[in-house]
Amino acid sequence: MKLKFCGATRTVTGSCFYLDTGDFKFLVDCGAFQGKDEIDMLNYEPFPFDPSQLDAVFLTHAHFDHSGRIPILVKQGFKGRIICTQPTRDLSMVILSDAAKLQKEEYERWQARGKKDSEGKNLSAQGSLYEQRKPLFTEEDVENTLDLFDIYPYGSSVSIHKDVEFRMRDAGHILGSSIFEFWIKTKEGRDRRIVFSGDLGQPGARIVKDPDLIREADYVVCESTYGNRLHKSKDETVLEFLSILKKAQEDGANVLIPSFAIERTQEILYEINLFVENKILNNLEVYLDSPMASKATEVFKQYPTFYDEDARRLLEKGDDPFNFPGLITIDSAEESKRLISKKGVVIIAGSGMCTGGRIVHHIKNNIENPNTHMVFVGYQVDGTLGRRIVDKEKEINVMGQNLEVKAQIHTLGGFSAHGDQRDLRYWLRGFGHSPKKIFIVHGDEDIAIGFGTNIKSELGVDVDIPKLNEEFELK
Ligand SMILES: [Zn+2]
Ligand SMILES: [Zn+2]
């Protein structure tokens, strides 16, 4: 059987893995590339397989770097099934609809600016589709994917084809996220078991359960986002977050939190809810200025059976873990703009890496104020505005304007939805019999290679760090 790596190879984004058993062809994830121009451009390249010949897409979770090319796939003739959990389906629809809207707006702005990007540069790839900056898909394309979803629960093995059986396990990364296990009969009649980690969460994370350990596999495809580092402890992170909120409240200063709409925002709301309900913080005004995060929060509220014990216990006590006195949800762009006059408030807005969305105008209005606190609670891909701020660049360009970064910048590592090096190694050690091979994906090149080298010597297994569109024959 063939396994081809069509994304997230020596980079974090663009997860897309193609398997061909001879009789059944499928993908695990079909995500978008995100980041620098040359990475982003890859979304415009043709797929290295025929979408109309695919039988299924197994979707590990809703994040755009895992789901973002599904509408393109459907546009190009995919008629198979998309297999995932209920929250993954609902959150994917939120993410993909939002992406369609953003791309349309960005395209219109780009045309209005005389075909230059927000920093005034002409796009580099001469003559490519990327240069034309056409939206990858529309809201209608997104709607067309909805009928293709098939929902399954965690934990039960499903025979989807005479040669292919699968089972979803909890990946503990975001609500509904899955590890996929496959049992595949090869042409030669051998039974092979392949496991895709998806994105693996941090044990002990809020809301979601801990990642399931898998005992057996012949081949493992494993993420490595934080394969080179150890997160700060969760308690330390929460205390640091609390002291920032307290300091800002005393100073009458604003706190900006660029937040990913899915999971991270809910986790932040969850922590603030505990501060407020336990009277550790009083009279805190918090603005959730992200319609997408508000929609995602509604999805979270629908699926309490996916929560961990602590979150379920709050619900049983009658406390909504995502709501508290002082939380105000902002809908319209006008209301959002009116937040300019606010002082001493917390603003949670997207996008998580400051590449667009409402956080951008809040940055513009607040970043030159030395009292402002900007709190990063998630991974910032190289090349994004968020990364430039985190990397302490003194001057940034926002909406065509050069601004001096005077705000206090905080990076709270403990909120990560990804396990760190120790968590990933723990998960990989969970395989009772060492796999024949472990493929390391979903990490920046140096991190993936470094992590792969560690794993190889620790577990004594064959490790590979695939390159884009590299193909392997799995025997
Ligand atoms: Zn993810
Ligand atoms: Zn990912």
* Residue 131 pLDDT: 62
Model's pTM, two decimal places?
0.91
Start and end residues for every CATH 3.40.50.10890 domain found in the chain? 234-415
Portion of the chain with pLDDT greater than 90, in percent: 85
CB-neighbour burial class of residue 51 (10 A; exposed 0-12, middle 13-18, buried 19+): buried
For residue range 364-413, what is the model confidence (pLDDT) as tens digits?
999 999 999 999 998 888 888 999 999 999 999 998 899 999 999 999 97
Distance 249 CA to ligand 2 centre (A): 34
The residue assigned the tokens 């996220």 is: 177
* Residue 322 pLDDT: 97
For residue range 27-80, what is the model confidence (pLDDT) as tens digits?
999 999 987 777 888 999 999 999 999 999 999 999 999 999 999 999 999 999
DSSP SS3 for 60: coil
* Residue 38 pLDDT: 79
Distance 7 CA to ligand 2 centre (A): 11
For residue range 153-185, what is the model confidence (pLDDT) as tens digits?
999 999 999 999 999 999 999 999 999 999 999
* DSSP per residue, 309-368: HHHHHHHHTT--TT--TTEEE--SHHHHHGGGG--S-EEEES-TTSSSSTHHHHHHHHTT
Cα 219 from Cα 191, distance rounded (Å): 12
* Residue 121 pLDDT: 61
CA angle, residues 127, 133, 135, in degrees to nearest 5: 135
* Residue 102 pLDDT: 86
Task: Give the number of the ligand closest to the Cα of residue 31.
Answer: 2
In one-letter notation, the amino acid at residue 371 is N
Alpha helices per DSSP H over 113-233? 129-132, 139-146
For residue range 109-143, what is the model confidence (pLDDT) as tens digits?
877 776 666 555 665 555 555 666 789 999 999 99
Q: Kindly report the average pLDDT of the chain as a whole number.
A: 94
Those residues whose beta carbon sits under 5 angstroms from the ion ligand 2 are 65, 199
Start and end residues for every CATH 3.60.15.10 domain found in the chain? 2-229+417-473
* Residue 366 pLDDT: 97
For residue range 277-327, what is the model confidence (pLDDT) as tens digits?
999 999 999 999 999 999 999 999 999 999 999 999 999 999 999 999 999
Those residues whose beta carbon sits under 5 angstroms from the ion ligand 1 are 63, 199
Distance 167 CA to ligand 1 centre (A): 19
Distance 462 CA to ligand 1 centre (A): 26
Distance 63 CA to ligand 2 centre (A): 6
* Residue 388 pLDDT: 96
* Residue 116 pLDDT: 66
- Asked if residue 430 has pLDDT above 80, the reply is yes
Task: Give the number of the ligand closest to the Cα of residue 7.
Answer: 2
Instruction: Look up residue 2 and give its two tokens.
Output: 């063939």
pLDDT band at 416 (very low <50, low <70, confident <90, very high): confident
Task: Give the number of the ligand closest to the Cα of residue 223.
Answer: 2
Instruction: Look up residue 285 and give its two tokens.
Output: 């005004």
- What CATH number does the domain located at 234-415 have? 3.40.50.10890
Handedness of CA 202, 306, 80, 23 (dihedral sign): positive
Distance 359 CA to ligand 1 centre (A): 21
Portion of the chain with pLDDT greater than 70, in percent: 96
* Residue 414 pLDDT: 85
* Residue 132 pLDDT: 66
- What CATH number does the domain located at 2-229+417-473 have? 3.60.15.10
For residue range 330-357, what is the model confidence (pLDDT) as tens digits?
999 999 999 999 999 999 999 899 988 8
Distance 373 CA to ligand 1 centre (A): 26
Distance 61 CA to ligand 1 centre (A): 7
Query: Strand ranges (DSSP E) for 25-176?
Result: 25-30, 56-58, 81-84, 149-151, 158-161, 164-170
